[in-house]
A and B are shown apart, each in its own frame.
Chain A
Amino acid sequence: MSKLVQIISANKKFKTPEGERVTALDDVSLEVNTKEFITLLGPSGCGKTTLLRSISGFEELDSGKIIIDSQEMRNVPPYKRPVNTVFQNYALFPHINVENNIGYGLDVIGIPKPERNRRVKETLQLVGLSGYENRKPIQLSGGQQQRVALARAIINRPKILLLDEPLSALDRKLRQAMQLELKNIQNELGIAFIFVTHDQEEALTMSDKVIVMNHGKIVQIGTPTEIYDNPTNEFTAQFIGESNFFTGKIDNIENILTIKTTCSNTIYLKNFDKSKIFKEKNIDVFIRPEELLLESNQFTEKYFIECVVKQIVFLGTDFKILCDIGNNKIIHSVIRDAHRSNIDKCKIESKIKLYYNPLSFKILKND
């Protein structure tokens, strides 16, 4: 697999209207392979859109390099770059019909009519919009507009397709259907997708590789499972899925690590590297809400956190329990459908035990 895109220490600062300088990209480096589905994930303002726009050529970097297909992109205008974009609100041309919107990329580079028509037809078929050729964008539903935007962007057969939160305007059902469809289309076309989103579910569902960004920096790169199971920092742990964080001091190191937290609970942790752990040192750990259970089994009966139920939230298939573990620190537990009967035992303000497997706790950092 060759490197299709290389971004080498990209930096970009913006000036706000108030005259402040805001860092949008801070020493960002990454690589994209051919046929890869990459997701840039982060909250709004984290620099992911700036990065995308630098690749498409609408922003010029302050420093750093963008190399696409072994060609340096500095001073290459957007219309000469081998990338196409699906814009956030689609940016369909309102004055021309679906067919001409999709054929636009071919028309402006002067592809002969017969081939142009054939490719437009093909692409319409691929996105399932045959028969809509003569509609104006305004006469289409949101989902259909989205497909036109996609068709318009892939018809030039770019090496890379950039997608700037393309699904954010769709309702949940349609969004989930489009996620799968996008993935299928990507497989079929065999081009690299760089997908920008702030929706972690979207990122985890579709990507081969997720790039988590915050404050203009890449905080973690990995496969969806790596990112979810082994976040290397608090931001990722919090942003991808939910997490309960604990800060404490290491009390005892044996087969099992004993931690006294600042809220005077005791936490046991099994999965750790002994060479890096020292007694009396500070340590940050976290556990996912779905790993905190109301009932015990043979692995968890000795390990639990005592707490007071503050709120119970119904999530559809799951319940979420918010509990106070002392000092007003609230932790979350998500109770899966199968254990729903246990919910009845929980009363607001009652004391409960949340059991966990000591393998479930993970270390964020220790010093």
Chain B
Amino acid sequence: MTKKNRLFLLLSPFTFYSLLFFLGPMLILFIFSFLEPGIYGGVEWNFYHDNYGRILGWADGEFEDFDIIYTIIFLRSLRLALITVLINLLICYPAALWISNLNPKLRNFFIFLITLPFFASLVVRLFAWMIILKPSGILNQVLISLHIIDEPILMLFTEGAVIVGMVYVLIPFMFLPLYASIEKIDLKLIEASKDLGANKFITFFKITLPLSIPGIIGGSILVFIPSLGNFIVPDLLGGAKVMMIGNLIEQSFLMGRNWPFGSALSMMVMATVVIFLLFYVRSVSKYENETETIK
């Protein structure tokens, strides 16, 4: 078998799968976003740009209205997603640093622990968070019995609850790339830095941190994408108050029966993600050229 044939065989399942189930639907969404919504759902095959107009501000005001609320929801999603990334980074970086210094057996054990929540259903885990956060929930009861607060505070159905939930759900996506890049750093470099007169802090900021940038960027993107489009977490923990773009898309498709509008929203989310992704690929490939490990 020639090398070419073998490569073709090896790659064909992946190519076939992603063409059929990823690019196909994507193409449909893209086309739908420029079509007129049907009166009873579905689409009319006419070119129609007001789906985007409703979001971006050129809708005619006759059949479709521009509403600033979509921009607000979009910006809120962006903000919550970025906060989620930041908090996740602050939680995972020290943990990854610590775990990468353990002996290999313990390391694997901790990585197992980090991925453990995946074994349970996402919805079940989020319901658990509801039980923790609700006014009569565990957290409020503990705080009251410790006399820190007098009456239950509203934790569920707030932005805070959504952030807590998203951070929790996405921890492995931040942790694993971070861990992979920190663990790859040659211990000898750390020693060399200390040998040359740098204490722990200087060594961290001048050696460890810059060398783990690929992991930071990778983890951030992996957390950013699912947080931006997330609808389960804001649905369960945010309620009606904290609507994110994912909820809006879900509603347009399932409740509003307005597929073209939902498609247009999805395309907007995707455009944002692609912009961030381009930034990611560019900075990482630039970085990797510079820091290939010395043989």
Contacts and interface: CB of A to CB of B under 8 A. Distances in A.
Contact of A91 (B189, B210, B211, B291): B189
A195 interface: no
A80 B196 CA distance: 9
Interface of A: 56-58, 77-80, 83-85, 87, 89-95, 104-105, 107-109, 136-138, 145, 152-153, 156
B197 A108 contact: yes
A166 B131 CA distance: 61
Contact of A95 (B197, B202, B291): B291
Contacts of B194: 57-58, 77-79
B150 interface: no
Interface of B: 186, 188-189, 191-199, 202, 206-207, 210-211, 290-294
A19 to B, nearest CB: 13
A138 B294 contact: yes
Given A91-B189, A93-B189, A137 B195 contact: no
Contact of A94 (B197, B199, B293): B293
Contacts of A80: 197
Nearest to A152: B196
Given A104-B206, A108-B196, A153-B195, 10 more contacts: A77-B194, A78-B195, A79-B195, A85-B195, A91-B189, A94-B211, A94-B290, A94-B292, A108-B198, A108-B206
30 contacts: A56-B195, A57-B194, A58-B191, A77-B199, A78-B194, A79-B194, A79-B198, A79-B199, A87-B188, A89-B188, A89-B294, A90-B294, A92-B192, A93-B207, A94-B292, A94-B293, A95-B291, A104-B193, A104-B196, A104-B206, A105-B196, A108-B193, A108-B196, A108-B198, A137-B294, A138-B290, A138-B292, A145-B294, A153-B196, A156-B196
Nearest to A104: B196
A95 B210 contact: yes
A146 to B, nearest CB: 11
Contacts of A153: 195-196
Given A79-B199, A105-B197, A93 B192 contact: yes
B113 to A, nearest CB: 22
Contacts of A136: 290-291
Contacts of B294: 89-90, 92, 94, 137-138, 145
A109 B198 CA distance: 7
A94 B291 contact: yes
Give the top 5 A-B pairs by smallest Cβ distance, nearest first.
A105-B196, A91-B188, A108-B198, A91-B192, A94-B291
Contact of B197 (A91, A138, A145, A156): A156
Nearest to A78: B194
Nearest to A97: B290
A354 to B, nearest CB: 46
Contacts of A84: 195-196
A269 B186 CA distance: 55
Contacts of B197: 79-80, 105, 108-109, 156
A109 B186 CA distance: 23
A104 B192 CA distance: 10
